[in-house]
Structure 1
């Protein structure tokens, strides 16, 4: 995975739409979709989000006449792995064991979840 950066919540909203499409989109299409989702973001605001996503290595743009086509460089799953690893590194010193221990000690895991985890680990 390339060196990507963390997204803001608004940038994540934009990317969720782009990832759901499964391909490239135009800014005009994105603006229409955001309007359909009752987002009253101004076009310049959305263009700023898109520019930031390009800077962060999450999107790329190709020129088509006067319009840009935006194409994801990072999949939703890749970004989730990036966020998960960042969280583990910053909160649990990169230790999955410490994370699971915190969930277990906090009674956040049910017996069924523990059994599912045991099965999952044994199959890996």
Structure 2
């Protein structure tokens, strides 16, 4: 499952709220988007299994709630990234990060502690 950049805007709003978000709340947080665009994007996220929706009363207002957490989505995308770019080798990913000096000494120490905790 891949969430587009614009769909991700909606997911981040909902994840940050950590609960239900109405159509109007999304519109307030996304003033550059039309209500119809927000509804279309939310519908795509429902189809992808990321959101669920409940209509409020007889109005056209919906409440949206995340089905998948931000951490679950990050884990899925990370696995897919490692699989597609590094042929499934997490070691290759880590090696590339070390080669490019993306880690500070503090990062390396934290990473070592994390590995020790996992053992």
Q: Does the TM-score normalized on the shorter chain lie above 0.5?
A: yes
Matches within 5 A, 1:1-124: 5-35=1-31, 40-65=32-57, 66=59, 67-124=61-118
The residue matched to 1:117 in structure 2 has which SS? helix
TM-score normalized with structure 2 length: 0.88
- Structure 1 unpaired stretches of 5+: none
Unaligned runs of 5+ in 2: none
Q: CA RMSD in A?
A: 1.4
Q: Which has the higher contact order (CA 8 A, sep 6+)?
A: 1
Deviation at 1:28, TM superposition (A): 1.5
Aligned length: 116
